[in-house]
Amino acid sequence: MRSPELCAGDIQAHIPGISDVAFIDRGGQKAVFACAIGGYRYALKLLCAEVDETEVAADATERAIREVATLRECQTPHLVQLGPYELTPVEIHGRAYLYFTEELVDGEDLRSVLRTGPLEAVAVARLGHEVSSAIGCLWEKRRIHRDVKPANIMRRRADGSFVLLDVGLVFDLDETSLTLTGYIPGTLPYLSPERTDLSRKREIDFRSDLFSLGIVMYEALTCVHPFRQGASSSDEVLANILTGVPPPPSQVRSSATDLLDPAIMQLLAKRPHLRFRTVERFQAALAETGLLQE
């Protein structure tokens, strides 16, 4: 299913109660706009409600229902929050759509931040602590994010805190699967090894998200992806994820402290049981580095 190809004027003309609409982005199934509601800025996500005969992805409507439910149930400042409009139908130019709103984070995504260079160790420790809090909040509801990556992490302009975005691919262990058989949702360079074994899909847990967070922290500290180095194809990246052992971050960037090496390398362990048993244990390891600021 393609994302809706509508302009800001279409949205403002057909959805009541919003103003100052501006296009932000268009993904695989959703178009995203900024808008004002009651004097506050929000992100408005719009998707087609009609499924045609060529549909090969999961039912977008069911996935949106799960996304909204997850945002409603998971309350933490480090996971994007649901806005005032939950999933609502609307007809535009004779076609059926669904939309909902969520917090519009004022800041910059981590992918853009890292284009100017790596983060200092204090910021990377904070990144790990705050994004793992979002991962832990999801896991309390037996949900796994499945797409932790720099493009889905925002750094707030006001205070430098980090927020995990886009739970559109969230996996709920207590609900039916929404993904087409044989397809692995997510972003390949940030997959955990166990995500590639589709026969054990329902055995994965929060430690899969922690593996992805380990990649993000490694990249944030060094501006080097631990599994892309030396790889010239997607197959080679995948092989590195499954079997490759990268050097500790401090050996990649000489100016980086080695204080974070143990925690990051444990996150990148190939087998989940070799990673941290709980989010809290990982956060305790970060605290022991002395890098977390009050």
Q: Are strands 107-109 and 153-156 parallel, antiparallel or unpaired?
A: antiparallel
Q: 227 and 240 in contact (C-beta within 8 Å)?
A: yes
CA distances from residue 56 to 1, 80, 176, 178, 278 in whole angstroms, order as listed: 7, 28, 17, 11, 36
The pair of structure tokens assigned to 11 is: 């949205």
48, containing H or E segment: strand 40-48
The backbone torsions φ and ψ at residue 164, rounded to the nearest 5 degrees and listed phi first, read: -85, 130
Helices (H), 74-157: 110-113, 121-140
Q: 114: number of CA atoms within 13 Å, CB side?
A: 22
- Is residue 147 part of the annotated active site? The answer reads yes
> 282: how many CB neighbours lie within 10 A of its CB?
25
Place of tokens 């190939």: 270
- Chain-centroid distance of CA 248 in Å reads 24
Catalytic residue among 10, 25, 106, 147: 147
Q: Which residues are catalytic?
A: 147
